[in-house]
Amino acid sequence: MHKTFKLAVFVIIILFPAISFGQYDNSSFREMFFGRLPNARAEAMGKAYASIDGDISTVFFNPAGTATIKGLEVNASFASPYYLLPELKFNYFGLAYHFNKYLTIGLSRNQNNYGMMYLRTNESPESVVDSGVMTNNIYTLNIASQPIKNLFVGLNVNYMIYGFIDPKPKVLFFDFGVIKKFPIQQNSNFQQSINIAANICNLNHSKMTFIGSFQHGFEHYNNLPVITRYAANYQFVLKKHLLIDTLNTLEFLAQAEFDDLLNSDYLASYHFGAEVKLLEILSFRAGYYHQKVDDYGNPSYNKDFISSFTYGFGIQLPFYKLIKLPLNINFDYTSLPQPTYTKNKSDWDNFTSYTLRLNWRF
């Protein structure tokens, strides 16, 4: 049974690139799938997180990552601004409960809040047809499991609601992911491990249909992106207690990730990141990413790729190790430049992202 399951997972991962999908317009839903991330830690480590486990915000990157959450976890993230939308506010909320190694269930919401928006007709630009506060939301039900030791699998059921005009377009799509952990060496002083991961977002190739309420015959659809992620990380923990008896002295993580779209020639990207954690309290992070973008047939003005170095820090309060209170609190922060898509110099404001994460280890 175990061999059959492993083979099925392997075949699914191998066949990801062979599946054919309708083309995705790489300007559609850009801020929902390629904008702000639901985790300041991921933003700081090269905008990658698909091989990380034990965090509810991994739902966005790889649904298998929640399989190793301890007890109950609550996560909230906020970020702003976003390029030409200085008032756009991204917020994320997620919670998950780990019942046992075979079952973790999580719920989350990704939201981009654009503020008040107005709809006008082409015939009369001054005439407002409709208006309202525009919020685009993705609600996710996550189910993750560890059916075999150190093999994590997960499934997301996503429900996306877009725009402010009634009826609001809605669509259902699914994600699937796997993570395999390989412990390298374990002893009383240190431990090492490697994670290998793969994920597919929108595996059912969903598309969103738009129906206009103010024009006869106004109906069209846009394909959602079909995103695959292949990732790996190396983790080292120096457990030898040098300063505080109950805390690890040093933890180090290095990760690499490749993201690709099965239904677009653009937005493929490479990601690299690292983190150093001191005494399980203070974390320093850095990373780099490189992403292919569309120059829209004007290479003299538009770039055909964007890239950026990233950085940030985090503070953790492991009360469950310090005073035996079963609580762990994490705060993560980053403030980063927004890379320009044109070859002309653009003075975009930095965006800031911060995350608060609470974990009750029952």
| The CATH number, out of the four listed (2.60.40, 3.30.70, 2.60.120, 2.40.160), of the domain defined by the range 2-360 | 2.40.160
- When comparing pLDDT for 208 and 172, which is higher? 172
In the predicted model, what is the mean pLDDT of residues 35-44?
Answer: 95
- When comparing pLDDT for 41 and 208, which is higher? 41
Residues 334-358 have pLDDT tens digits of 999 999 998 887 778 899 999 999 9
Say how many CA atoms lie within 13 Å of 138 toward its Cβ.
26
Residue 213 pLDDT greater than 70, yes or no: no
pLDDT at residue 126, as a whole number: 59
How many CB atoms neighbour CB 356 within 10 A?
14
From the list 136, 178, 134, the residue with the least C-alpha distance to 156 is 178
Residues 136-164 have pLDDT tens digits of 999 999 999 999 999 999 999 999 998 76
Confidence of residue 214 (pLDDT cuts 50, 70, 90): very low
> What is the pLDDT of the chain when averaged over all its residues?
87
Residues 93-140 have pLDDT tens digits of 999 999 998 999 999 999 999 876 655 555 555 555 556 678 899 999
pLDDT at residue 122, as a whole number: 56
How many CB atoms neighbour CB 97 within 10 A?
17
Residue 315 pLDDT greater than 80, yes or no: yes
Domain ranges within the chain, ordered by starting residue: 2-360
Q: Give CA–CA dist 163/89, Å, rounded.
A: 15
Residues 215-224 have pLDDT tens digits of 445 677 889 9
| pTM, entire model | 0.89
Q: Give CA–CA dist 78/36, Å, rounded.
A: 9
Q: Give CA–CA dist 238/256, Å, rounded.
A: 22
Residues 285-305 have pLDDT tens digits of 999 999 999 988 888 899 999
Q: Does the CA dihedral 247-45-334-138 come out positive or negative?
A: negative
Residue 8 pLDDT greater than 80, yes or no: no
Q: Does the CA dihedral 286-292-293-296 come out positive or negative?
A: positive
